[in-house]
Structure 1
Amino acid sequence: MLVRSVSARRLLVGVTALLSVSLVFASPALAEVRGTDLVGERQVSSSPDLEAAAPDMTTPSAVLETADGQLLWARDARAERAMASTTKIMTAIVVLEAVSDLSEMVTVPAEAASVGEADVGLRTGQKLTVRQLLEAMLVHSGNDAATTLAVHVGGSIPGFVDLMNEKALSLDLEHTQFTNPHGLDASGHHTSAADLATMAQYAMQKPAFREMVGEKTVSVPAGNVTKRFDASNLLLGTYEGATGVKTGWTNDAGYCLVASAKRGGIELFAVILGTKTENARFVQAKRLLDWGFAHYGVREVTSAETTAALVTVTDYLDVTVPAVIAETTSTPVFDILGDVTSRTSITEQIKAPVAKGQRLGTLSVEQGGRLIAQVPIISAADVAAPGGWERFKIGVTRLWRKVFGGQLQAETVTVL
């Protein structure tokens, strides 16, 4: 079988090389911080410190979130906008949840071969697997592949669009509505940066999706020829930790990018909508991701066996038991939200016997009034109950000290 690379491949290699330089040396001349931008859940205009810390961005609409949906930064993130081929994230979600066997064969329908715009050259009647079509759609953004999958799963384009909108509703995508599976401009076909972030986070939980959007090339059979296409996401292989997800462009949408990257166990999702040039979307995504990784990372917030208090054992005159942190805990911290603080809640006294590992309290770690970690505080030692003769002596001593003065029991000492 012959293998041909598309004619644009050489150009794409050149663009990739140029991008590598542009991502590092891109001019910030038009970048700005807007008072309505959000850092965390707070408007930048609410604090000079936030304004100083916020990233300089030119994109009209964007968002940066963690993998679990924590908002780090946003600009007009709920504005409804055309979404171009980022649509295909939802197309893939619906297909992957409908088809259990990705080796299932699919026949290319006539409407797919004639959909136009970005395509991978599928021919009417050609047979490919679901996996091949998903790769063609996600890696190179083939509209013909998206249409083929939609007809196969939904029975028709309208039938598949209904499934897309049902899924959007179930994911609480309040600003999203689909009218087609490929993303070409159409009335009523829109989303928001915030919704796209949610969509991408959900999709990336699917191993097959994650694998495909991380591929740098895709090979698509076309008769006796196999065409090789490079990924449209130029961050792959040029940006440290890049993992996905999807590009897009139409006249109404401008240049769009949903990008994800993972470093040090942290994965971030940046959505860039409506840039004026292809290169700008990648430069903006890099800037936003760099800013996110600079301010959001894993930090050790508790250390096992750290003594939090010495707790009184009431059966004795002078015995305490060390109360220690049960475990070392590391958790993601967004440093712009303020200092990390901890507070303890520990029983002031306890009756013997006390078992090593017995829970004596809780350490709560907070940042900006938000709980970020909570771990048990436990006894570091066993303390047996006093025997009969010892208990008698303790009782006599206490009686004496009540009359003439003296310590009746040890005092609890708080360390943390």
Structure 2
Amino acid sequence: MKRKLSLFISTVLLTIILGTGFVNAVEFDIPAKSAILIDAKTGQVLYEKEAHKKLPPASITKIMTLLLAMEAIERGEASLNDMVSISKRAESMGGSQIYLSTRDRLPLKTLLKAITVASANDACVAVAEYLGGTEENFVRMMNKRARELGMVNTHFVNSTGLPAENHYTTAYDISLMARELIKYKEIRKWARIWHETIQLHDGKRSITNTNTLIKSYPGIDGLKTGHTSEAGYCLVASVERDGFRLISVVMNTASEQQRNEASARLLDYGFRVFEHKVVVKENETVKDIPIQKGKKQTVDAYTAKSLQVVVFKGTSNQLRREIKPLGKSAPISKGEKVGELIVYQGEKELGRVDLLASEDVEKANIFILFFRWLWKLILDLIGQLKK
């Protein structure tokens, strides 16, 4: 009897889950004004709470500062070994800092590590000035990059996250820039450091990680804390298990303990409830995509890339695939997009992949087109006579 009851309850819950989609399908709340949980690889939102609410982010802002620095290094415009001078402005920064002096000249790597580990405002301004010329110009770069990432509810006023009017973002927008930053192995390495010393002009300086969750949550390798009286306690956390990486964002909690507990609950939920599935393989063949006015009326296509989706554990048999031809007319070149393969779970679209022509398709001449029209006309007439 108990087994039957358990099976019935499980079936009902599964039906509710599949009917409502991912976000908040399992009802629970966390003590944060705003929060989100995403799959880092696909960007799928697995949980959200007021995720588009504009809030002050405090030092979570530094994710964008770090991202611009890592992207500049990746493009060859800067190097981790570049020596950076410290300005009076950087020296004067308050809040969390490593007490830099204008007498210091440090490798860019050291400054980025100090931002990641200790949330150092003075190091942050030094990096902003080095890469942007001035912090004001660097902030323009930050806002430009935010727009490129689709962070439509974000506006930065400084590079540090220190309290400022009209400086805001959202949990969702934070997840977008966090997805980009977590790709860099150096960031993941630095974010795991608990305690380290760095060399300044007047001796060694100790730095300790502001993210105390790395001491208690297995596998955490990111990403950034934030705290001001206005912003409350915020945390962006990231963990990877068996190739499945989750990113959680919690904003405006009441205490450090509360933000840690809320983050841990989100991550636990994600790993307990969801799994990754490869639903489309790269170069997978899809036959007979219709082509208009071609010598051949169809062409085989292949998938441009693989597609992974996140689904509730045990529900991958609910996935379905739909082929959507673009209705293109010949001539068609090999490798040209001719359609899309779309993956659904229920009515919810989980992702789509471009379908590319596997060969050239020449345009049919006027005689072929005429005979096709004539043949179709004959078939239509026969069909009418049979009615």
CA distance in 1, matches of 2:343, 2:57: 40
Give, in angstroms, the shift of residue 117 of structure 1: 1.0
Give, in angstroms, the shift of residue 178 of structure 1: 0.7
CA 1:252–1:344 in structure 2 vs 1: closer, same or farther (change >3 Å)? closer
- Pick aligned residue for 1:64 from 15, 20, 37: 37
Q: Secondary structure at the match of 1:274?
A: strand
CA 1:203–1:342 in structure 2 vs 1: closer, same or farther (change >3 Å)? closer
Q: Secondary structure at the match of 1:340?
A: helix
Query: Is the 2:279–2:309 Cα contact (8 Å) retained in structure 1?
Result: no
- Pick aligned residue for 2:318 from 319, 341, 366: 341
CA 1:94–1:40 in structure 2 vs 1: closer, same or farther (change >3 Å)? farther
CA distance in 2, matches of 1:62, 1:343: 30
CA distance in 2, matches of 1:371, 1:222: 50
Give, in angstroms, the shift of residue 56 of structure 1: 3.0
CA distance in 1, matches of 2:177, 2:65: 11
Matched, 1:212 2:190: yes
What's the counterpart of residue 261 of structure 2? Answer: 283
Give, in angstroms, the shift of residue 336 of structure 1: 7.5
CA 1:253–1:364 in structure 2 vs 1: closer, same or farther (change >3 Å)? closer
What's the counterpart of residue 7 of structure 2? Answer: none
CA distance in 1, matches of 2:36, 2:188: 20
Mapping of residues 150-299 of structure 1, within 5 Å: 150-298=128-276
Matched, 1:109 2:93: no
Give, in angstroms, the shift of residue 335 of structure 1: 1.2
TM-score by length of 1: 0.63
TM-score by length of 2: 0.68
Mapping of residues 79-118 of structure 1, within 5 Å: 79-98=53-72, 99-118=77-96
CA distance in 2, matches of 1:371, 1:55: 23
Query: Is the 2:171–2:251 Cα contact (8 Å) retained in structure 1?
Result: yes
Coordinate RMSD, CA, aligned: 2.8
CA distance in 1, matches of 2:68, 2:342: 41
Q: Deviations over 1:128-185 (max 9, x none)?
A: 0100000001110000100111111111111111111111111110011111111101
Matched residue count: 287
Matched, 1:139 2:107: no
CA distance in 1, matches of 2:134, 2:200: 23
Give, in angstroms, the shift of residue 340 of structure 1: 2.4
Query: Is the 2:344–2:351 Cα contact (8 Å) retained in structure 1?
Result: yes
CA distance in 2, matches of 1:225, 1:218: 14
Q: Secondary structure at the match of 1:261?
A: strand
- Pick aligned residue for 2:345 from 364, 367, 374: 367
CA 1:162–1:218 in structure 2 vs 1: closer, same or farther (change >3 Å)? farther
Q: Secondary structure at the match of 1:294?
A: helix
CA distance in 2, matches of 1:199, 1:263: 21
What's the counterpart of residue 47 of structure 2? Answer: 73
Q: Secondary structure at the match of 1:235?
A: helix
Q: Deviations over 1:80-125 (max 9, x none)?
A: 1001001111011112223431100011111111111110111123
Q: Deviations over 1:313-350 (max 9, x none)?
A: xxxxxxxxxxxxxxxx99554218956236699xxxxx
CA distance in 1, matches of 2:57, 2:319: 43
Query: Is the 1:165–1:178 Cα contact (8 Å) retained in structure 2?
Result: yes
Structure 2 residue identity aligned to 1:219: T
CA 1:64–1:129 in structure 2 vs 1: closer, same or farther (change >3 Å)? same
Structure 1 residue identity aligned to 2:27: A
Query: Is the 1:193–1:271 Cα contact (8 Å) retained in structure 2?
Result: yes
Computing the radius of gyration from Cα coordinates, the structure with the larger value is: 1
Comparing 333-342 with 132-141, greater Cα deviation is found at 333-342
CA 1:104–1:339 in structure 2 vs 1: closer, same or farther (change >3 Å)? closer
Q: Secondary structure at the match of 2:212?
A: coil
Structure 2: state its 5+ residue gaps: 1-19, 281-305, 323-340, 354-387
